[in-house]
Chain A
Amino acid sequence: MTRYIANRIAQAALLLVGVSAITFLLLYVLPADPVRQIAGRSATPETVETIRKQLGLDLPFHQQYGRYLAALVQGDLGRSYAQKTEVAEIVGARLPATLLLMLAAIVCELAIGVAIGIFGAVRQGSRSDTGVMVLSFIGVSTPQFVAGILMLYVFAVRLDWFPVGGYGEFRHLVLPALTLGLLGAGWYARMMRSSMIEVLTHDYVRTARAKGASETRVILLHALRNALLPIIPMIGIDIGLFMSGSVVVESVFGWPGIGQLAWQAIQQVDIPIIMGVTIVAAVAIVLGNLLADLVAPFIDPRIRIH
């Protein structure tokens, strides 16, 4: 087990180096010049060259990346071009907002998705089951910004129940978390429904029914735990998805997380920040997958890690 974890962590580290190399290369090759952004339009060619030298951007690619990687392994993400502060500090300041939203969204999609999925499975083949399936198709087919603007229009503009945007209180969290949660619930509902239908055909469920357990008891006590198994890796994947896809929902609701930070950085060609956010997101994706693999055997003792 320890060896397995050590192996996986080593693999994860390699993957992160790979992700950072490719992102760095992309930003190096692409036709956007960070120095022009920093120096401004009126800068003389001499000033531009001095800044380029100072930042080490005149060096060939392998030297630039070598420097970056050497700093990275010591936990140094460099300095922002635009804000002149440590990238780690800037990203760290924005991270709690994104993590909070992610956590709330996962709670929402789990609660809604699992409940709806069980409902569909129990009523399998009925009209309400078809309704559930259609709803879940709509959930997986709606882009976040469309759902987000709809939520804003209905609950903030029309009904005035929640603020249009902002951060700091619970009421600010409700709409963005529900937007992500309702859409994500589409995936969970479909998975939960088919998994529950499958589990309900097992012998032990028949035994439970035969000895006279009520249907509620059979479903919630006997079947649920097994039916939940395929849901766990989905949570792991979602951690990565939310961390790397937070740009959209954060810009709809003005949520001050790493997504908005990345978005500003991309427009300012602030390469250290773009790199920093990409690496944080990649770490989340790798960790999410690792977590999914590690948690499974605790919930289902039949799963062994080799």
Chain B
Amino acid sequence: MANDRLQDAWRVRLVASERRRFLRAMAALSAGSGIASTGLAQVPQNNGVHDVPADASKVQGYPLADESYGMRSQFETEVRRRFKTATPQSSWTMTPLESGVGIVTPSGLHFERSHGGTAVIDPAKHMLFVHGRVRTPKKFTVRDIRRFPAMSRIMFVECSGNGLTEWSKPTMRTVQFTHGLTSTSEWTGVPLATILNEAGVKPGAAWLLAEGGDAAAMTRSIPLAKAMKDCFVAYGQNGEAIRPEQGYPLRLMVPGCEGNMHIKWLRRIEVSDAPFMTREETSKYTDLLPSGKAVQFSFEMEAKSVITSPSGEMTLDGPGFHEITGIAWSGRGAIRRVDVSIDGGKTWRNAALQSPVLPICHTRFRMPWRWDGREAILQSRCVDTTGYVQPTLGQLIAVRGLNGPLGSIYHLNAIQSWHVAADGKVTNVHAY
């Protein structure tokens, strides 16, 4: 083990020194070979940043490393951005949906919501305990979990607080900050039913507690019926191990339900006859209405869509053709239809859905648009396979009320409006 680490360290050093040699050689060549300086040369060379030749077809490209973990182009700059909460440990970062194409979120841009920072866990030492109302309390290593027959599912995870700033007035400028707490990955793991069956669930069991191994020991109660139906314990994300911030080495996936139930750094499942009424499911992730009553266990993320381009802070390059595109998703099933309006919801046109259209998954929609250069308000409205129609904000407020500036905080799935000014500038507005 220690020997492996030593070898790894050597390898890194070797690669770095090779690269330095190569760059020195390139720099020497550049004087007479027409390689233009870009001003990026000051950026540390080990950061995947390379000198840019005037014509890439006239010089050799940079060499293929014997071993590497690839990086995106040095010209791509989109990043997650953190909402400035009181501490950077209990905080969230948001996915730049405006630059996303397709339906899958790159793992490094998947939104984060953590309640006690990102836990660092050695998978060789991590255990998953299953106990409570079971015949045999069990513990599993990560290797044990990986031995079970596996499954994969491409699905979205959305924080139920997505859009919490937008209840009473348009607040954030970009779709990253209005909608960026949703992301889609391919998740790979083992059905939770398989693992529960190893311990043998006893009669009378109705709920289970899922607990994370982070500083918050994040806990949520989940109905046993849901656990047996389609929950799974994931160890893979987009073809590799789950990212640390997504719960490495094990994360509970609860398809269609609010993100905080997808317990990261999963270490324990306790089977019970009743919910545990943890802090997160009583004082936090409940939806307080103006009546003083709060809706509890509002698990499902309802159908929602948003136009990601054009979206807030973009400027259209003049009248003419523009593709309106965005994503739609539902925790209750697949997206059946998306309509787009350019006049603030007075008239609607059917958008094309790009395949694959999967249940509980981001679905990409597109609509061609010839902008006439006049003011417009762009909206998208989705319908899922249960027939549920995404509401306007006015409709949602009629049911949920406006209880303080943040409304009832969670589960805002209303239609989003983007205003296009005559100069092409796009801004976040309320129009309902």
A and B associate in one complex: no
